[in-house]
Amino acid sequence: DADVTQTPRNRITKTGKRIMLECSQTKGHDRMYWYRQDPGLGLQLIYYSFDVKDINKGEISDGYSVSRQAQAKFSLSLESAIPNQTALYFCATSQTGAEQYFGPGTRLTVT
């Protein structure tokens, strides 16, 4: 079984809809991250959490929110989706902050 899982793997939604992406991990890591990747580009950090009570904004947090429900679960929400949020979304975990383990990604399309 994969150490970091993401659901859904693919999602098509309409502009203005609320959507939640979920991430679960079995690695026992405290640190979890959400990244966004646009076609042909690198990864941009949306939010990160160092423990259940800690939430921090990344460089592109506008339009997104997160919830750390437990050490193993970190959810990303788009309150009102817009087309330029169409991208690949990756969750990652880490114990140290440097060596990160990524999930398989969620491909989100906003029409």
Partner 1 sequence: LAKTTQPISMDSYEGQEVNITCSHNNIATNDYITWYQQFPSQGPRFIIQGYKTKVTNEVASLFIPADRKSSTLSLPRVSLSDTAVYYCLVAPVSSGSARQLTFGSGTQLTVLP
Cβ at position 88, least distance to partner 1 in Å: 7
Cβ at position 16, least distance to partner 1 in Å: 27
Amino acid occupying residue 67: S
- Which pairs from 41-47 meet CB under 8 Å and 24+ separation? 43/90, 46/76, 46/89, 47/76
20-59 mask for partner 1 (x: CB under 8 A)?
-------------x-x-----xxxxx--x-x-----x-xx
Say which residue the tokens 């750390």 belong to.
Answer: 68
Torsion of Cα atoms, 23 then 27 then 30 then 33, to 10°? -40
Amino acid occupying residue 72: A
Measured from the CB atom, is 50 or 73 closer to partner 1? 50
Measured from the CB atom, is 63 or 104 closer to partner 1? 104
Number of residues that bind partner 1 (CB under 8 A): 27
Interatomic CA distance for residues 47 and 74, integer angstroms: 10
- Per CB under 8 A, does 86 bind partner 1? no
Which residues contact partner 1 (rule: CB under 8 A)? 4, 33, 35, 41-45, 48, 50, 56, 58-59, 88, 90, 92, 96-105, 107
